[in-house]
Chains A and B, each alone.
Chain A
Amino acid sequence: MGMFGNLFKSKKEIKEASYMNQRRNILGNGSNFQVQEAYKALRTNIRFSSSGNKFCVTSGLASEGKSITVLNIAISFAEAGQKVLLIDADLRRPSQARLLIENGAPGLSNVLAGLCDDETAIRKEQMNNLDVMFSGEIPPNPSELLSSPAMEDMLKRLESKYDYIFIDTPPVNIVTDACVVGRLMDGVLFVVRQNQTDRESVKHGVAQLNMAGVKILGFVFNGADVKNNRKYKRYKYYKSKIYGYQSYRHGVDERGRGSVDKK
């Protein structure tokens, strides 16, 4: 039925279904090997490109996979034994609570408004080594809250308690929140989605961040095609690469054959 199923569902159902779809992308034991390796490589690059421990993640526009990416980065660091805090600072369209199927309140907005303390807002051990602070109730003044001294103070308090802090921020081309939060960070990761993000959006976003004096750590290229997908403009033959790649997996022979693939 595919796309036509949409006609008969309510808007709410469609949204929920799309979240369900996205949840399958959350890093875990069932994840594709190459995806896991990709996040590990990203993790290594982040560690080596900065000596800091506070990073936020943004993108140009919405629906570019930013929330999943920051969640997976946090999970990846947590899996490496780091004590990680993930904060959902998208106070306009918070996604982390929906993705993790949790109640989003109380959370960041409550803390920033002085209505609750850190401990109440943080969900401990959401996963191994990973604590999460959701967005809290959606406030009427998100930019003001994020640029208030309360944000800076909260970060100072939490900095010492965690090895790494990752923050999910709204798209930089839509609102200025990412720039506001970025100034307090050791670096910003810019998520870009293949076949969706256009160059002007990227250029504009980077310009915005530069103007705000934010340190851009680098791009995260999301949805990269690995196999020779005909949509990919360079018609490259990736099969041999995959064979070599797969041979490093546990339980797989050097031709890339093995039973660990199918899960």
Chain B
Amino acid sequence: MNQMKELDIRELLMACVYRAWLIVLCAVVGAFAAFLYTDNFVTPMYRAEVSFYVNNSSSDSGPNHSISSSDLATSQRLVLTYVNIIKSETVLDQVVMKSGLDVTVPQLRSSMTAASIDETELFKVYVTHADAQTAADWANAIADYAPMELEMVMVGSKASVLDRAKIPGAPYTPNTSRNITAGALVGLLLAVAVIIIRTLMDVRIKCEEDLSCVPDVAILGSIPDFTAPAAEPYSFRRNDAETGRR
């Protein structure tokens, strides 16, 4: 094409409105496909969480000691460090050994995430597993044995368990309704994209203005697309724009 076809937003919009049924159909198909996939191919994972409170133990210097803001600041930095250390070989090795759980260190590491909670001295550890009980067990193993190791690595700090893990009731992933929505959206966008591309690429003559692509040649006549009511006894296919409701 030597010339870019003029982009008429209204034309594209009308093309989509005219084919609204297709867009809706694709959205429904997309949603359905997403549902089928989510239901049948994705293993639901459960997530158990434990939370810890961190402070530097040097602040426990006596009943009259109040926590200063610099203490808090230090603790917050400790959290960031803990979040990294807790996944180390040293710590997890001890956790696995002392808890007696049937799991390897890499397995445990890959199933856990540690994150600080905003800018506080708290952090959480999440364990994700296909089995709810296992997730809780592993999380609690970490709760039981990790703080000791943390304190041995970072001498002079203390991590206390705030919340132990409960057995998660509902799966954390997949989020079925979110997937269905996403599926519907993808279907919709695909349909719209296809319609738009096809409309832009359509170089047929659609109206008299299109014929001005050849200048200097006049339009002598415009014959509407009507057909006379059938005079013949045999009517094969009605072309009538009036009665052939499409």
Q: Give chain B nearest CB distance to A178 CB in angstroms.
A: 15
Contact B214 A235 (CB under 8 A): no
What are 21 A-to-B residue pairs whose CB atoms are below 8 Å? A17-B236, A23-B232, A24-B228, A24-B230, A24-B232, A24-B239, A30-B228, A72-B223, A190-B217, A202-B214, A206-B217, A217-B218, A220-B219, A221-B205, A221-B211, A221-B222, A222-B223, A224-B208, A224-B225, A235-B14, A263-B228
If A32-B228, A200-B203, A202-B213 touch, does A224 touch B222 (CB 8 Å cutoff)? yes
The answer to whether the Cβ of B62 comes within 8 Å of any Cβ in the partner chain is no
Closest to A3 in B: B237
Closest to A263 in B: B229
Q: What separation, in Å, do the CA atoms of A38 and B11 have in the docked complex?
A: 27
List residues 191-239 of chain A with CB under 8 A from any CB of chain B: 192-200, 202-203, 206, 216-227, 229-235
Q: Which residues does chain B contribute within 8 Å of A220, judged by CB atoms?
A: 219-223
The answer to whether the Cβ of B206 comes within 8 Å of any Cβ in the partner chain is yes
Q: What separation, in Å, do the CA atoms of A164 and B161 have in the docked complex?
A: 104
Q: Between A and B, how many residue pairs show CB distances below 8 Å? A: 151
List residues 14-33 of chain A with CB under 8 A from any CB of chain B: 17-18, 20-21, 23-25, 28, 30-32
Q: Interface with B: A40-48, A84-92, A135-143, A249-257, which one?
A: A40-48
Q: Which residues does chain B contribute within 8 Å of A230, judged by CB atoms?
A: 14, 17-18
Contact B211 A202 (CB under 8 A): yes
Closest to B210 in A: A199
Closest to A226 in B: B224
The answer to whether the Cβ of A49 comes within 8 Å of any Cβ in the partner chain is yes
Closest to B211 in A: A219
Please report whether the interface of chain B is mostly helix, strand, loop or mixed according to DSSP.
Answer: loop
The answer to whether the Cβ of A173 comes within 8 Å of any Cβ in the partner chain is no
| Binary interface encoding of chain B residues 223-246 relative to chain A, with 1 for a CB under 8 A from any of its CBs, else 0 | 111111111101011010100000
Query: Which size class do B's interface residues fall under?
Result: 35 or more
Question: Using a CB–CB distance below 8 Å, which chain A residues touch chain B?
Answer: 2-3, 5, 17-18, 20-21, 23-25, 28, 30-32, 34-35, 38-39, 41-42, 45-46, 49, 65, 69, 72, 189-190, 192-200, 202-203, 206, 216-227, 229-235, 262-263
Query: Considering residues B10, B206, B214, B239, which has the most beta carbons from chain A within 10 angstroms of its beta carbon?
Result: B214
Closest to A190 in B: B217
Please report whether the interface of chain A is mostly helix, strand, loop or mixed according to DSSP.
Answer: mixed
List residues 1-46 of chain B with CB under 8 A from any CB of chain A: 8, 10-11, 14, 17-18
If A31-B228, A49-B218 touch, does A198 touch B204 (CB 8 Å cutoff)? yes
Q: What separation, in Å, do the CA atoms of A202 and B8 have in the docked complex?
A: 22
5 nearest A-B residue pairs (beta carbon): A42-B221, A218-B220, A32-B226, A218-B218, A223-B225
Q: Which residues does chain A contribute within 8 Å of B213, judged by CB atoms?
A: 199, 202-203
Closest to B18 in A: A230
Q: Which residues does chain A contribute within 8 Å of B236, judged by CB atoms?
A: 5, 17-18, 20-21
Q: What separation, in Å, do the CA atoms of A17 and B233 have in the docked complex?
A: 12
Q: Which residues does chain A contribute within 8 Å of B222, judged by CB atoms?
A: 38, 220-221, 224
Q: What separation, in Å, do the CA atoms of A17 and B210 have in the docked complex?
A: 32
List residues 45-102 of chain B with CB under 8 A from any CB of chain A: none
